[in-house]
Structures are given as C-alpha cells and as structure tokens.
Amino acid sequence: MATIQLVRHATLLVSMDGTTVLVDPMLGAPGDIPPIQNSPNDRENPLVPLPDVDLSHDAVLVTHRHPDHFDDAAVDRLDDDTPLFCQPEEADAFREDGFTDVRPVADSITFDGVEITRTPARHGYGDLAERMGPVSGFVLDGDRTVYLAGDTVWYDPVAETIDRHDPDAVVVNAGAARFVEGDPITMDADDVASTVAAADCPVVAVHMDAINHCLLTREDLRDAVSDVLIPEDGDELSV
C-alpha cells in the first residue's frame, strides 16, 4: 500500500515501501510570499496556513523551483543533508542553498527501493511555457506506482506517461493558474477531466485554494468533474 497526504497546495507526503518523500515543500506562513505578478488579484501567498501535519520524511523531491513549490521557509527548515531529488537544470541552485546531498534525476534513479523517474511536463502554452522555465513530473514506483504530473497542462506526453507507467494513482496540479493574459499554465477542469478519462486509476487533484493566481477552486472542480478525488489540506489517501 502507498499513501498520499496533501499538506497544502502542491506539497505532498508520498509514502511507500517504508519510505516517505516530501514533495514540493512550500512551508511558509500566510503572506510570506508576495503576490504572483501580473495576476488578476494581489493577495499575498500562501493564502492559507500550513496544517498541523507531521512532516517527517526520508527524502525531498522538487518538481521545479517556483516559490509555490520550494520557498525560503523550506530552505530554512529542511535538513541540509536530506537526499534531495530534482531536475538536473536546478541541481546547482539547491547546492548553493546549502544542500549537500542533491541528486538530479536525468532519467530515473532508485532510493530505498523506490524508483524515481522524471517525466515530461509543459507549464502552459507557446512562448509562455518556454518562459516559465523547465518543469518536470515524476513517477514513484515501489509496491505501488504514483504519477505526480507536476505543473503541466494536459498534452500528449501526459497521456503517454499514463500509458507507459500504468500508475495506481495520478496526482495532477489543478487550479488553472494563470496571468492576466493568456491561457492557464496548470490544469483547468477540462484538463482534469481528460486525465480522468485517460487513467485507469484514481486521479487526485491538488494545487488549489492556496496561491493567488490559481483561480479554479476545489468547489468549482467538484461541480465540473466527477470521479476525481479532491483532498483538503491535511487529508491522507490510500493507494
């Protein structure tokens, strides 16, 4: 069995084979992060407090270094010698932050019996996706297989990753994050519905109600898409 616990936004605790991975730690207090620029509102982030969750972990996985996925509080609170898995493009930045056991994932790597495989992601459309910088999804494969799609919209490589890895659960970053102009840069309701249709397993939607430019709420998504799991902060799901 594996468990997926939503901490807040995209911060997760994924446990399998006796190993717990802390994913995309945004650990700051409300208002620690300025509003995302060029957004439809100017609320300071995070919008909600960190829930009372045991954050004990064996390793950290960061899909990309945007501040809603890895913030200054994470730098301060995480142990410097914790194994930290990341995109190769961002490994040096973590080392500059003082982390001493940075393990970039070019393709796949194994940690305590769990295989971690990097997968494609596209943070929006067209030139905007290019400007958002490199982003990745990851598949964690142990006694269960969990696909963390990361900050991506629905596009062919997401479907291909589902087909290739046949996961037991898919976690998508919803919220339809967007700027004043342009299309969403994370999954909207239609993208989540496409993922549900493609996956022969539970789909878990997170990345909502915590950052000012994520305009799709949990309530909106529940109204728009059936057969999707939408946890509240602190909720734990079994796979």
Q: What pLDDT was estimated at residue 8? A: 98
Average pLDDT of span 100-124: 98
Q: What pLDDT was estimated at residue 112? A: 97
Could you tell me the residue ranges of all domains in the chain? 2-230
> Which residue, 131, 121, 129, is CA-closest to 171?
121
Average pLDDT of span 111-135: 95
pTM to 2 decimal places: 0.98
Q: What pLDDT was estimated at residue 14? A: 98
Q: Report the C-alpha gap between 210 and 45 in whole angstroms.
A: 7
Distances (CA, A) of 46 to 75, 142, 204, 208: 16, 32, 21, 11
Average pLDDT, the chain: 97
* φ/ψ of residue 198, rounded to 5: -85, -25
The answer to whether 77 and 27 are in contact (CB under 8 A) is: yes
**Helical H runs in the chain?**
72-77, 91-96, 126-131, 156-165, 189-198, 218-224
Q: What pLDDT was estimated at residue 176? A: 98
Question: What band does 42 get if pLDDT is binned at 50, 70 and 90?
Answer: very high
Q: What pLDDT was estimated at residue 120? A: 98
174-229 pLDDT, tens digit per residue, is 999 999 999 999 999 999 999 999 999 999 999 999 999 999 999 999 999 999 99
61-85 pLDDT, tens digit per residue, is 999 999 999 999 999 999 999 999 9
Fold of 2-230: Metallo-beta-lactamase; Chain A (3.60.15)
Q: What pLDDT was estimated at residue 187? A: 98
Q: What pLDDT was estimated at residue 199? A: 98
Q: What pLDDT was estimated at residue 61? A: 99
Give me the long-range contacts of 146-150 (CB less than 8 A, separation at least 24): 146/2, 146/4, 146/14, 146/16, 146/170, 146/171, 146/239, 147/119, 147/171, 148/12, 148/14, 148/23, 148/61, 148/63, 149/119, 149/121, 149/173, 149/187, 149/195, 150/63, 150/64, 150/119, 150/121
Question: What band does 122 get if pLDDT is binned at 50, 70 and 90?
Answer: very high
* Residue 18 CB contacts under 8 Å (≥ 6 apart), including other chains: 112, 113
